[in-house]
Amino acid sequence: LNVRWKKNGHYNVKCRWCPGFPEVNDTLDASNSFLGDSTIMDNDDANGRLPTVVKFEFQLYKTKDDKYLLDMQRVTGPQLLFLDFCAAFLTKLRVL
């Protein structure tokens, strides 16, 4: 799904999704962290427009029933684009 992510804690991940851009796997180092600040910054494209970026977080919880709950929260970016990502993510998990 072309998501770049950084592990914040044992159960928390910060993510960045740039739809429409080719996947680049070499921007993460061995610890799955961003290599530099330049990968986090939103750079202008050739036409001078900012690319659309959706930043969000995943938080994993364990319920009393020994089931897991995944909380997905948008931090920045267009709301409808975040919902598009959620639909694609759930489709990839074969939930939808």
pTM: predicted TM-score of the whole model, two decimal places? 0.66
Tell me how many domains the chain contains.
1
**Six-digit token string for 19:** 């739809």
Whether 54 and 84 have beta carbons less than 8 Å apart is answered as no
- CATH code of the domain in which 22 resides: 3.30.310
For residue 41, what pLDDT is reported? 45
57-7-68 Cα angle (round to 5): 60
Residue 36, domain extent: 3-92
For residue 49, what pLDDT is reported? 60
- Average pLDDT for runs of 10 along the chain of length 96: 92 92 52 48 52 92 94 95 94 85
